[in-house]
Amino acid sequence: MRMQKRPDPEEVRRTRDFYDWWAPFYDATNWLAARLRGASDFTERRKAVERLGLAPGMRVLEVSCGTGTNLPLLSEGVGQVGLVTGIDISARMLRRCRNKLRRKSDEASLLLGDAAKLPFADGSFDAVFHHGGIAEFPNKRAAIAEMARVARPGGKVVICDPGLPFDRPVRWINRQLLKLQPAYAAPPPVRHLPKTAQSVHVSWIRGDAWYLLEFVKA
Ligand SMILES: C[S@@+](CC[C@H](N)C(=O)[O-])C[C@H]1O[C@@H](n2cnc3c(N)ncnc32)[C@H](O)[C@@H]1O
């Protein structure tokens, strides 16, 4: 039997404090990192969101929505009759998210909470999205299990995070990123997927510097 790592409250607090600190510069550093890799942050986000196969009227959740850059793309996918929800553990990231949405006159329900204990009933969403952060979660398995649990049967789950493909040469810029951030060496978390994950597929985005792991909940 595989031992489950217990979420360490201290580790969760450290991650939250780190993102509270990063919140004011998060968007600028993200944009710069994408440019250095020769990729457009916006185009890459759109590519990832497209994998959710959103349609008008759907309910979509972004786990760890951060400053909310993906939320307008999710809203576009589900239209005015759909529902967009974002959850994040950092109050400062969420505050920036709220301000950004207000400027764009966009709407989403935002909640403060931990990805490993989502405050939603089973099957509450037609699609679940995670874009960045899971490498630092103290309990990836629990977070992925929660994403699957809150997706309805037949719903799509898309998880993206830094990672480098093993089947081709690593680009120079990605080797530098790997030195700065060891998280890039982690393989896509396929081994953490629950039994309900079907049609599992891994591809690479952001100039081969992020994996995109997608599955359908059985
Ligand atoms: C790299 S940012 C990604 C933000 C956003 N998804 C994006 O694409 O720009 C990672 C986010 O994960 C959040 N986070 C970290 N640990 C978390 C946890 N245990 N539960 C929920 N959110 C968490 C951080 O606060 C941060 O906003």
Answer whether residue 2 is part of any domain: no
Range of the domain at 65: 9-217
Answer whether residue 3 is part of any domain: no
Ligand 1: residue of 46, 89, 111 to mutate (most ligand atoms within 8 A of CB) is 89
Distance in Å, CA 124 to ligand 1 centroid: 21
Tell me the helix, strand and coil percentages in the chain, rounded to 5: 40, 25, 35
pLDDT in tens, 100-150: 998 877 788 999 999 999 999 999 999 999 999 999 898 899 999 999 999
Q: How far is CA 77 from the centre of its chain?
A: 17
Ligand 1: residue of 19, 73, 95, 114 to mutate (most ligand atoms within 8 A of CB) is 19
> What pTM was estimated for this model as a whole?
0.94
Number of domains the chain is built from: 1
DSSP assigned state of 190: G
Element (H or E) spanning 37, and its range? none
Residues of the chain with pLDDT > 70, as a percent, come to 97
Write the residue with the smallest CA distance to atom 25 of ligand 1. Answer: 90
Answer whether residue 31 is part of any domain: yes
pLDDT at 5: 53
What is the pLDDT averaged over residues 30-48? 86
Write the CATH number for 73: 3.40.50.150
Answer whether residue 4 is part of any domain: no
Q: What are the angstrom distances between the C-alpha of 146 and each of 15, 38, 91?
A: 19, 34, 21
Answer whether residue 24 is part of any domain: yes
Distance in Å, CA 132 to ligand 1 centroid: 6
